[in-house]
Amino acid sequence: MMILFDLDGTLCDSEPGIQRSLAWALEQSGYPVPSDSTIRSIIGPPFTIGLPRVGVRPEDVDRVIATYRERYQDVGAFENSVYPGIEDVLHELQRQGHLLAIATSKPEASAFPILDHFNLSRYFTVRAGATLDNSRSAKADVIQHALNQFTARGQQLHDAAWMIGDRHHDVEGAIRHNLRCIGVTWGYGTPEELSKAGAAAMAHQPKDLLSLLQAQPAS
């Protein structure tokens, strides 16, 4: 079975570093800092989508993102923690012989060091993320990039493939590629958001993933 995982809000609680880095970037760019709950609502999808929702003018989006990265790359990325129980799940899925991948809308330049820092890269056959120039940022495009890497390794997509994520973009991106998606409720989305987007199942704690996936045919 192929299982693709989102990163922020699914494997890692990256909110503290994102909150602090984005607040700093908005202040540096002359914008008021929104409430923590407002910032939380835009974590996950690309900031090109989220920043206009918190009042950043379209012409300033690229500048705010560049300023954000100045702090996030070296500091904010590591103001972060792996959710309890996640590594046990990854270890067990790998032991069972499943093919695991990362498919995140976070730029690879930030995502890969985080995976390495927390010693999570060892669980993933494929790692796919966004590009810094936004040529690949939508979740559907990131999923396609992950699937292409599997194909290049001679591993073909099959009916048992799943996406695991915490926001509606994860669900919608999965559906674009005829993948089913398990929505996780410990991240930054809500059960209502995930259900409305078409999540095939819901996990309320990491160990739920094992029972949900075990009910599927093996690859």
The pLDDT tens digits for 168-214 are: 999 999 999 999 999 999 999 999 999 999 999 999 999 999 999 98
d(CA 47, CA 62) in angstroms, rounded, equals 9
In a domain, 219, yes or no: no
Does position 138 have pLDDT exceeding 90, yes or no?
yes
What is the tally of structural domains in the chain?
2
pLDDT at 157: 74
Q: What is the pLDDT of residues 50-93, one digit of tens each?
A: 999 999 999 999 999 999 999 999 999 999 999 999 999 999 99
Of the candidates 6, 13, 141, 170, the residue annotated as catalytic is 6
How big is the chain by its Cα radius of gyration, in Å? Answer: 17
8 A C-beta contact, residue 77 and residue 17: yes
Which of 141, 139, 118 is closest to 44 using CA atoms?
A: 139
In a domain, 206, yes or no: yes
Does position 156 have pLDDT exceeding 80, yes or no?
no
| Structure tokens that stand for 104 in this block | 């995140």
Of 78, 103, 119, which residue is a domain's last? 78
CATH code: domain of residue 33 = 1.10.150.240
Q: Are residues 105 and 163 in the same domain?
A: yes
Q: Which domain holds residue 34?
A: 15-78
Hey, what amino acid is at 101?
A: A
Q: Which residues contact 173 (CB under 8 A, 6 or more apart)?
A: 103, 138, 139, 140, 142, 143, 163
Q: Are residues 93 and 128 in the same domain?
A: yes
Q: Are residues 117 and 208 in the same domain?
A: yes
Name the pTM for this structure: 0.89
CATH code: domain of residue 203 = 3.40.50.1000
Q: Are residues 87 and 164 in the same domain?
A: yes
In a domain, 182, yes or no: yes
Q: Which residues contact 115 (CB under 8 A, 6 or more apart)?
A: 7, 102, 121, 124, 127
Of 51, 78, 105, which residue is a domain's last? 78
Can 6 be counted among the known catalytic residues?
yes
Burial class of residue 120 in the structure, from the number of CB atoms within 10 Å of its CB (0-12 exposed, 13-18 middle, 19+ buried): buried
Mean of pLDDT values over 22-38: 95
Q: What is the DSSP string of the chain?
A: -EEEE-SBTTTEE-HHHHHHHHHHHHHHTT-PPPPHHHHHHTSSS-HHHHGGGGT--GGGHHHHHHHHHHHHTTTGGGS-EEPTTHHHHHHHHHHTT-EEEEEEEEEHHHHHHHHHHTT-GGG-SEEEEE-TTSSS-SHHHHHHHHHHHHHHTT----TT-EEEESSHHHHHHHHHTT-EEEEETTSSS-HHHHHHHT-SEEESSTTHHHHHHHTSPP-
